[in-house]
Structure 1
């Protein structure tokens, strides 16, 4: 549970064009607390995105808008965020203990390179006499990245919902738990039960 808590608390949005990140309720500030804007949220501004805090048509902060909307603490934090010169989409990263930033692509790379999970491929590599195909879809070798990201079972999920990066992490855990139930106990689980278990962890 401590690892899950650290995963949730360390999630942050890296601002590109700001179009896909809401100003409130989304962790995007460079702070070691929850990363969310603490300024009181006016009802008529509840759905504005970070792009509304930038000069129209430019990749720079609109200081006048910042001062009008945010308190001094939030303004200073926002001004510390460098904006890319080109139009890039917003993305997720994690702040680890000590302040190190880790990006999603790096996490996938680590999973792929290190063989972090005891998949069937990992067992076969250790000379266990076993069919290395995915026990769910039978359409490929069961590698770390296959079971968590490319298996046909994953297509039952629409994980690209608004600001649900943390949910993706919980979903990966739930998928792996469901996989183990099936492989070792032959207990199947529906996509609904997997999603529900991930939601309960949030």
Structure 2
């Protein structure tokens, strides 16, 4: 029979593992962009490369995604997006639809249609991540 202490420890380890999965897989859904760092957060609509990889531009170190949005038209500032990011990243950014009214940024789980996290989808994500990181080739 398990002691109360060991079952509590197992539950705690499970919670920490679940948190790690969420941190690796969760993405930001752009609303107004004020909560999202251009350079440090996962917000691009790409499962493989959700973070900006372009070099940080001096003067924009603390830039938020909202800085890339024209506040009057609520559209992407195309000159700024193309000026700060690689062509591939700029295309991804411009593909993100923006609301005509300010909407709160939201953290989502992009591996389910609803955007909600489920343990099964987290396990599948981890399995895919592990297989992507595994060395290729046959050991000799």
1:42 aligns with 2:57: yes
Uncovered stretches (5+) of structure 1, i.e. residues with no partner: 111-202
1:68 aligns with 2:91: no
Matches of 1:86 and 1:36, distance apart in 2: 25
Matches of 1:67 and 1:42, distance apart in 2: 12
Q: Deviations over 1:82-107 (max 9, x none)?
A: 111211111110122xx63514xxx5
- Of the three residues 28, 34, 53, the one matched with 2:68 is 53
- Of the three residues 14, 31, 35, the one matched with 2:46 is 31
Structure 1 length-normalised TM: 0.46
Partner of 2:23: 8
CA 1:95–1:101 in 2, change beyond 3 Å: closer, same or farther?
Answer: farther
Three-state SS of the structure 1 residue aligned to 2:109 is strand
CA 1:17–1:81 in 2, change beyond 3 Å: closer, same or farther?
Answer: same
Matches of 2:83 and 2:58, distance apart in 1: 15
Matches of 1:65 and 1:37, distance apart in 2: 14
Higher relative contact order (CA 8 A, sep 6+): 2
Partner of 1:84: 99
Work out which of the two has the higher radius of gyration on C-alpha atoms and give 1 or 2. Answer: 1
CA 1:101–1:95 in 2, change beyond 3 Å: closer, same or farther?
Answer: farther
> Displacement of 1:56 after TM fit?
2.9
Equivalent positions of 1:1-202 (< 5 A) are: 5-96=20-111, 100-103=113-116
Larger relative helix fraction: 1
Matches of 2:93 and 2:107, distance apart in 1: 17
> Displacement of 1:20 after TM fit?
1.2
Matches of 1:94 and 1:50, distance apart in 2: 19
Uncovered stretches (5+) of structure 2, i.e. residues with no partner: 1-13, 119-140
Three-state SS of the structure 1 residue aligned to 2:115 is strand
**After the TM superposition, which parts of structure 1 deviate over 6 Å for at least 4 consecutive aligned residues?**
none
For the 8 Å contact 1:9–1:34, the answer to whether it is kept is: no
RMSD: 2.2
